Amino acid sequence: MINQITVLESCWHISPGWGKNMPPLAVEILEKVLLPISNLSGYCRGVEWSGQEWIYAIICQSETLYLPEQEFHPTNVLKKSTVSTPAFNLGDIVEVDFGEQPTRRIIQGIFSLKDNWLYGVEWRSPTLEEVSAQSRTIWLADVDLVNVSV
């Protein structure tokens, strides 16, 4: 009999919530967006796959709002920034050192914070969601990740 827990922990990371094709983003990171409910605008500073959709981190009046794409309108205007380009892209497979053995994970979020990039990866299996109310996503800097070509 195969140890099902070992199999689950060794292979769940290769099956992201979006299946084989990653859904397109509604806006680019650092793109200006309009918030129709409040007649304000803000800038997209990050995105994360949550549930069954992309959730966008929108900076508006020094507040970070986490919104699905239905709650804002893109403008196709990018903010001029000195932030370098991210070292990894959404959907990239990376190696993360969580313990004794490095494990592979998929980049499921990117966030720009104070001119640095953070990358969201799941640190535990999505099938274990009911067990704990804690977020499955951990945010790491590029120095904590190694790109894996598959």
pLDDT in tens, 82-140: 778 899 999 888 888 766 777 788 899 999 988 889 999 887 665 555 555 556 788 99
Residue 72 backbone phi and psi in degrees, to 5: -150, 170
Query: Pick the residue with more confidence: 135 or 61?
Result: 61
pLDDT tens figures, 13-53: 666 677 778 899 999 999 999 998 888 999 999 999 987 89
Tokens 């794409």 -> residue: 69
Q: Which amino acid is at 149?
A: S
Reading across the β-sheet that carries 145-147, which strands appear in turn? 103-106, 93-96, 145-147
**What is the residue extent of each domain of the chain?**
4-147
Please name the residues in contact with 112: beta carbons below 8 A apart, sequence gap of 6 or more. Answer: 29, 30, 45, 46, 83, 118
The pair of structure tokens assigned to 114 is 């104070």
Exposed, middle or buried by CB within 10 Å (0-12, 13-18, 19+), for 25?
Answer: middle
